[in-house]
Amino acid sequence: MRRTLFEPDHEAFRETAKAFVDRTLKPHYERFVEQRHVDREVWLEAGKQGLLGLEVPEEYGGSGANDYRFNAVLGEELSKASAGLASCLGIHGDVVAPYLVDLCTEEQKQRWLPRFCSGEMTTGIGMTEPSGGSDLAALKSNAVRQGSDWILNGSKTFITNGYSADMIVVAARTSPEKKARGITLFAVEAGMKGFERGRKLDKVGQPESDTAELFFEDVRVPVENVIGEVDQGFIYMMERLPQERLGGAISNLAHAKQILLETIEYTKERKAFGQSIGSFQHNKFTLAELVTKIDVTQAFLDQCTDAHTRRELTAVDAAKAKWWSADVQNDVIDACVQLHGGYGYMTEYRVARAWMDARVTRIWAGSNEIMKELIGRDLGL
């Protein structure tokens, strides 16, 4: 079905994104997998192409697009190549950017955003903790005011870009008596004394995306690195999580759709019992169901993207998009593995890697169970 979400400017930008993927990412993908991180040159090239600051005003080095559909286009093109690469760049440009643009002071914007857009400074966001998971209100990391600084202690885990990022936006409890209403956001920069990174975590999938544990022991964070107002961090996160979940949903579907298209071609070429395996009725019906599921999901995500572009996307609809797209992604790619037969279980085949890469989407950005809980609460249950 023809999509009506995008205009000519978005499709022209898609060509830029495709060229970046083809020139800068695909030729070096195997090396990224082996070393378990993306080269800094990738970030610098993304900066040169104007891909990192889509939501950043031009005076700070960004594109100033102010149109989430451009984010969606970039997310789709990255995800077609690699879910892990889409995650790395998406955390930076799609998740962290709104915190810096919306909440930072003029001095902070001048200090951070030009390097953010150029790729000279890479970022991550430190929400998840070893004992908390999706429960952001249960943070144990804490910060205590001491003169003109805050003394930060605690740890984070499963942090995308955590091993390589130059700056992490860290959520920590500053007023324990206020519970969820007592959380503040801090910009913790590489080199701050007491800020240590653990090993690169050995994940089931997405090895090219560096993921790490972070440790903070009496880290002295200057007051100039507080993002937004003290004790307002939980509200800030709740306001911006819908965009993170929508971005994840867009990536989920684009990833699954690309693998399905490649699988359809495989079923045309692969022969069994004297005919292409796609011509068997069971396989034909399976593919018909998968294509329909992709198209129906695409229609809903395009509506969500349009709503978010107009700043009308609700947290509940973002939750629907997140959990549903993750389930569709995993169901579709699992079926693609089956259609590849034994080859689908071999890691040299893209479908096998995609199957491993996809599993985490039911967990991160708030588990699917938490998404359903949010939707259920909205029903008054």
- Whether 244 is catalytic is yes
DSSP 280: S
Q: Are 165 and 320 in contact (CB under 8 A)?
A: no
DSSP 22: I
Task: State how far Cα 116 lies from the chain centre.
Answer: 17
Task: State how far Cα 340 lies from the chain centre.
Answer: 28
How far is 153 from 189, CA to CA, in rounded Å? 14
How far is 301 from 313, CA to CA, in rounded Å? 11
How far is 246 from 275, CA to CA, in rounded Å? 41
Q: Are 161 and 117 in contact (CB under 8 A)?
A: no
Return phi, psi of residue 155, to 5°. Answer: -155, 155
> Angle between the 315-340 and 281-309 helix axes, to the nearest 10 degrees?
160
Q: Which of 55, 129, 208, 244 is catalytic?
A: 244
How far is 189 from 194, CA to CA, in rounded Å? 11
Instruction: Kindly list the distances between the CA atom of residue 246 and the CA atoms of 113, 216, 250, 298, 307, in Å, as whole numbers in the listed order.
Output: 23, 30, 6, 12, 11
How far is 301 from 255, CA to CA, in rounded Å? 14
Q: What is the per-residue DSSP string for 161-208?
A: TTTT-SEEEEEEES-GGGGGGGEEEEEEETT-TTEEEEEEP--SS-TT
With 0-12 / 13-18 / 19 or more C-beta atoms within 10 angstroms meaning exposed / middle / buried, residue 265 is exposed
Q: Which residues are catalytic?
A: 244
